[in-house]
């Protein structure tokens, strides 16, 4: 494939790929570097369909002219099997990129891992409800816990019997589910990674390099139960884990968003690709409105965009979803759009298009 052979690239950013409509088992996927090959198993079935894309992106498929840098970086991340760090101001569509990739390539439901200051690597991989399992196996223990009194010991069980139900109390997180051995990659959205603990980026390095992780409660019982079925992050989803280890087959498409609130370690940045998303221009805003409202706005669409861009310049930048809010008020029939001297409508716009800075002035010191 030469540098101009764009037809061979998986992501184009324009809508839905023709391959996405082919049967899951028959779809092809580009090869990655030899040092990024993974051979996990047993192979998982097709993931559930995307249940968020229409809400996030709009139900209407409209022609889209994606920024060349977006197409370039997404394809590079796919071909190199590397995470993509997406930066930019709030509201420019960073997290929406994950849903756009999943919908266009037909990769099923996006796995979402929102990061907070309390997020740890373990919470993204799996959760084990040891207390719930102990209580379910021993009713006397449950009663003793509730009454804070001693109770007779329950009947002893063989080690194999005690381990049989352990999978019922293990649920893989979004990160853990993304690393299951799917035939085609899952899309994983790690949202606002800059809000996490300072050690989180470094904790992810080994995981992204090796593409596997162990589930210690299952490792401990692997002799009695080498295969255990556990819950996944998909609603009603299950996966079979062998020998207590989850190993990827198709490395997931990892989209990590950042609002630029902190710097990341050099070792972390070396293993990522970075896409800096700019604010949507007038054409991009028109595509956004058309995707959510089709042609219901009519000639009001251009007026809204002009007013929004004017307010955005005065307020040092507004989020694109604020434009959607105004468009909904117009199409709801609750307000009649007017330019100029309609004081009520202008007051509504001032309320919903408020500055995003802390003091609400739209000025930076």
What pLDDT is attached to residue 341? 56
Q: Is the pLDDT of residue 319 over 70?
A: yes
Average pLDDT over residues 3-31: 82
pLDDT in tens, 175-224: 999 999 999 999 999 999 999 988 899 899 889 999 999 999 999 999 99
Please list the helix, strand and coil fractions of the chain in percent, rounded to the nearest 5, in that order. 40, 15, 45
**Looking at the domain 9-124+168-276, which fold is it?**
Rossmann fold (3.40.50)
Average pLDDT over residues 149-161: 41
Interatomic CA distance for residues 31 and 101, integer angstroms? 18
The pLDDT-based confidence of 362 (bands split at 50, 70, 90) is low
Interatomic CA distance for residues 66 and 75, integer angstroms? 13
CB 187 within 8 A of CB 179: no
Share of the chain above pLDDT 70, in %: 86
What pLDDT is attached to residue 149? 39
pLDDT in tens, 249-275: 999 999 999 988 788 999 999 999 999
What pLDDT is attached to residue 361? 53
What pLDDT is attached to residue 360? 54
Q: Is the pLDDT of residue 120 over 80?
A: yes
Longest dimension (CA), the chain: 81
361: its two tokens:
């002035």
Q: What is the pTM of this model?
A: 0.87
185 contacts: CB under 8 Å, gap ≥ 6: 29, 78, 107, 250, 251, 252, 253
What pLDDT is attached to residue 157? 40
């Amino acid at each position: 494939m030469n540098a101009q052979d764009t037809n061979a690239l998986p992501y184009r950013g324009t809508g839905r790929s023709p391959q996405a409509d082919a049967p899951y088992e028959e779809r092809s996927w580009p090869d990655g570097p030899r040092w990024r090959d993974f051979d996990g198993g047993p192979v998982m079935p097709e993931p559930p369909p995307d249940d968020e894309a229409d809400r996030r992106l709009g139900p209407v498929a409209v022609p889209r002219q994606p920024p060349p840098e977006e197409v370039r970086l997404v394809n590079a991340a796919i071909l190199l099997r590397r995470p993509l760090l997406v930066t930019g101001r709030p509201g420019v569509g960073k997290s929406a990129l994950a849903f756009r990739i999943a919908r266009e390539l037909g990769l099923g439901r996006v796995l979402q891992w929102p990061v907070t200051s309390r997020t740890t690597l373990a919470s993204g991989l799996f959760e084990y409800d040891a207390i719930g399992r102990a209580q379910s196996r021993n009713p006397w223990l449950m009663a003793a816990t509730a009454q804070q009194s001693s109770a007779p010991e329950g009947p002893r069980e063989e080690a194999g019997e005690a381990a049989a139900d352990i999978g019922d109390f293990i649920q893989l997180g979004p990160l853990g589910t993304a690393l299951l051995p799917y035939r085609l990659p899952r899309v994983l959205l790690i949202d606002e990674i800059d809000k996490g603990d300072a050690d989180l980026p470094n904790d992810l390095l080994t995981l992204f390099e090796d593409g596997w992780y162990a589930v210690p409660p299952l490792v401990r019982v692997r002799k009695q139960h080498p295969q255990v079925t556990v819950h996944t992050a998909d609603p009603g989803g299950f996966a079979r884990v062998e020998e207590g280890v989850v190993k990827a087959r198709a490395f997931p498409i990892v989209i990590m968003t950042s609002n630029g609130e902190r710097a990341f370690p050099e070792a972390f940045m070396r293993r990522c690709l970075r896409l800096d998303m700019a604010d949507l221009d007038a054409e991009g805003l028109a595509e956004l409105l058309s995707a959510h409202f089709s042609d219901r706005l009519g000639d009001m669409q251009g007026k809204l965009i002009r007013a929004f861009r004017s307010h955005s310049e005065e307020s040092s930048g507004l989020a694109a979803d604020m434009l959607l809010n105004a468009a909904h008020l117009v199409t709801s029939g609750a307000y009649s759009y007017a330019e100029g001297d309609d004081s009520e409508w202008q007051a509504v716009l001032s309320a919903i298009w408020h500055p995003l800075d802390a003091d609400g002035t739209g000025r930076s010191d």
